[in-house]
Amino acid sequence: MVLYEDDFVIAVAKPNNMLVHHSFMARNQSEEQTLVGLLQEKFDKQFFPVHRLDRKTSGIVLCAKEKSFVSEFQALFIANQIQKVYYGIVRGFSPENGVIDSPVKGRDANVHKVALTHYETLATITLPIPVKPFPTSRYSLIKLLPKTGRMHQLRVHLNKINHPLIGDPKYGDRFHNRMFQTEFDMHNLFLHATSLFFQHPFTKEKIVINCPFPIDWKNIAARFEWSLV
């Protein structure tokens, strides 16, 4: 789904469980369809990702229309001049708001780098569904504003404060993940890149891009009586 387009860049909605593009990290998935590959098929043109989302994360991805445009958009990310907003569903009742500044490993998986995430809890719910070792289960809807862009940053940070994302097979809680699978038939990671705000590096316009929530999000929000705004 195209969310925004001009002469320089296109913003599209990436679904869960899709690579943005092939990379060294996904070197064994050479036959797998990617977001960039789908765009090339649809428009018969090559696009150049400005940033990336984890395979399991859904939401907005910016792609430049020419390779020469990439550096101007990437400079905005490097200078923290693009405001990114994510929504997540986490285990337990997360604090009302806070800042997580725990370092996160880089893509080489050896060097820890500074990482900063602001968050705000928007809603909570207690369900009469037991999840080991408790007789009930509790969840929070959380808004996330990452100030850096490390690999798996939000997933790692939420695990660090003991409120891992639902559906996260690596950093999450397998008992709560299993409950969402068996009770709600929901298997995806509940992390969605909802909005981008920035000044266009070429036109100087103020750009606001929003991405609709996937169907799992809409279904769970209706069930929990949560507002996704």
Looking at the annotation, which residues are catalytic? 54
Q: 120 with 63: CB under 8 angstroms?
A: no
Measuring CA to CA, which residue among 191, 165, 166 is closest to residue 179? 166
CA distance 228 to 217: 8
For residue 175, give the 3-state DSSP assignment. Answer: helix
The answer for residues whose C-beta is within 8 angstroms of residue 12's C-beta and 6 or more apart is: 1, 2, 3, 35, 39, 60, 61, 63
Q: How far apart are CA 116 and CA 192, in angstroms?
A: 18
Q: Percent helix, strand and coil across the chain, each rounded to 5?
A: 25, 35, 45
